[in-house]
Structure 1
Amino acid sequence: MSDLLDKAIEAHGGWGRWQEIEGITADMSAVGLWHLKGWPDVLKAVKVEVDPHRQHAAYSPFLKAGQIGLFEGNRTAIVTGDGAVVEEQQDTAQSFGGHSLMTPWNVQQLIYFTGYAIWTYLTTPFLLRTPGFRLEEGEPWEESGEVWRRLKVEFPENIRSHSRQQSFYFDDRGLLRRHDYSVDIIGGSASANYTTEHKTFGGIVFPTQRCVYRTTPDNHPILDRAVVAIDIHKIDLT
């Protein structure tokens, strides 16, 4: 078995420290894809709270002051600060049939994509050690004068994410540099998510900037325009 995941987990702070964490809170902004879906600037300045050990993400303020956008895997909801449900939906994943990049989202679809995406990003690479994930080290990848080791991952069916098959690229230190996937809910758009500006918060290393580009059939990014840009300004761990 490849030692790559062990190296990556150690480089990002270690499994022991990760197991001590009960919550992740990030101040962030994200732009790009959302304007195509009818929600421009919805994440321009938000706080997101993530459970590192189960699929749970909560954005606030969401659409207006006092509201929270809640993602819990099969369930999405808008709730108030005291937990009252404004609206909710079960099995939101099933509502994306026939969608393409230009198909607008309703509010529950917005919460679903935004929730699973940031949960995946903030828990990588640690989530890959949890039950149900199948991993295989692929051929090394050369880019920007560096050689990155590549981990090919099959996600379990119970974990909501971009696609079942994803690839993670790590540099010689073990830090995540690129993350590839096909976004199934918008028709399978192949994407390369580049991670930079790695910083340490509470003993865990997180990339604080992400830029996502569409890719060519030979796996190279189309750099003329980022599909998504994410900036994380601060992270607190509990």
Structure 2
Amino acid sequence: MKPKGTSVVDLRDLVLEAHGVARWKRFRKIEADMSIVGALWARKGWPDALKNVRVTAEITEQQLNYEPFTAEGLRSFYCPDLVAIETLDGKRLKQRTNPRSAFASHKPATPWDDLHLAYFSGYAMWNYLNTPFIFARPGFAAEEIGPWVEGHQTWRRLKVSFPESVATHSPEQVFYIDDRGLIARLDYSADISGGVPSAHYPSDYRDFEGIMIPTRRRAYLRNIDGTPIQDGAVVAIDISNMRFS
């Protein structure tokens, strides 16, 4: 069932407008203070590595860093073709080119080194911070599929296909849209961490510079019927502050 008054509106455009796409186009960089924990990081050997970090992400290109990263005085550098660990004054200590290939044959329990962590947490957060605005970029395709009932809510759903040029969890992802036009859930299978189906819930939206940002995210494993397994968050993200420039 489509929310009253939105049946003639393209769902992708509705989502872009609801999140503040007109304001988004004015900015080039995001800075955010956040805490990232959960079972995934513990399983991979980094339970508290991202517990209190500052994230700086570019908007027009796929680039992001975490500070501190694994130790005080260090930061990560991420772009799709290269990840690195640097000192705060820019001295590069180690790096890995073609970083996605380093996950070949990884299973859900395969441990990560610090460069694995830099790549996964880099592309994942870049996607989260830039969604849904990346849907309007060349190479993306979106189509509305059947609605979903969860609890007392009925959500419209948008299936999005990502181009190969964008590092992301999986080439196809499904976004669940509430009656405000905001993303209430997204489904994916993170290919490089074993392809485990996940249901990811953004919530606690706040208005930053006219842009609606979820300040709380919880990701859970997903049953074959699409229902979440809510016996512990695989990923828990909390944002305390955000700045655009």
The interval holding the TM-score normalised by the smaller chain is over 0.9
Partner of 1:188: 195
Partner of 1:30: 36
Q: Which of 149, 152, 156 is the aligned partner of 1:149?
A: 156
Q: Is the 8 A contact 1:2 1:136 kept in 2?
A: no
Partner of 2:65: 58
Tell me, in whole angstroms, the C-alpha distance in 2 between the residues paired with 1:225 and 1:34.
13
Give 5+ residue unaligned stretches, structure 2.
1-7
Q: Which of 207, 212, 234 is the aligned partner of 2:214?
A: 207
Partner of 1:123: 130
Report the 3-state secondary structure (helix = DSSP H, G, I; strand = E; otherwise coil) of the residue aligned with 2:51. coil
Tell me, in whole angstroms, the C-alpha distance in 1 between the residues paired with 2:186 and 2:120.
17
Partner of 1:111: 118
Deviant stretches of 4+, over 3 Å: none
Report the 3-state secondary structure (helix = DSSP H, G, I; strand = E; otherwise coil) of the residue aligned with 1:98. coil
Q: CA deviation at 1:23?
A: 0.6
Q: CA deviation at 1:212?
A: 0.4
Q: CA deviation at 1:2?
A: 6.6
Instruction: For residues 93-129 of structure 1, give each alpha carbon's deviation from its aligned partner in whole angstroms, at most 9, with x where no partner exists.
Output: 0011111111000111100100011111111110111
Aligned letter for 2:31?
T
Q: Which of 61, 67, 70 is the aligned partner of 2:77?
A: 70
Partner of 1:102: 109
Aligned letter for 1:88?
Q
Report the 3-state secondary structure (helix = DSSP H, G, I; strand = E; otherwise coil) of the residue aligned with 1:139. strand
Report the 3-state secondary structure (helix = DSSP H, G, I; strand = E; otherwise coil) of the residue aligned with 2:55. strand
Q: Which of 184, 196, 210 is the aligned partner of 1:177?
A: 184
Q: Is the 8 A contact 1:23 1:50 kept in 2?
A: yes
Number of aligned residue pairs: 237
Identity value in percent? 46
Instruction: For residues 60-82 of structure 1, give each alpha carbon's deviation from its aligned partner in whole angstroms, at most 9, with x where no partner exists.
Output: 01122221111111110011222
Report the 3-state secondary structure (helix = DSSP H, G, I; strand = E; otherwise coil) of the residue aligned with 1:53. coil
Q: Which of 21, 37, 41 is the aligned partner of 2:27?
A: 21
Give 5+ residue unaligned stretches, structure 1.
none
Q: Is the 8 A contact 2:70 2:114 kept in 1?
A: no
Tell me, in whole angstroms, the C-alpha distance in 1 between the residues paired with 2:161 and 2:136.
12
Q: Is the 8 A contact 2:36 2:236 kept in 1?
A: yes
Report the 3-state secondary structure (helix = DSSP H, G, I; strand = E; otherwise coil) of the residue aligned with 1:138. strand
Q: Is the 8 A contact 2:206 2:213 kept in 1?
A: yes
What TM-score, normalized by structure 2, do the two folds share?
0.94
Counterpart check, 1:161 vs 2:168: yes
Q: CA deviation at 1:12?
A: 0.8
Partner of 1:233: 240
Tell me, in whole angstroms, the C-alpha distance in 1 between the residues paired with 2:183 and 2:113.
32
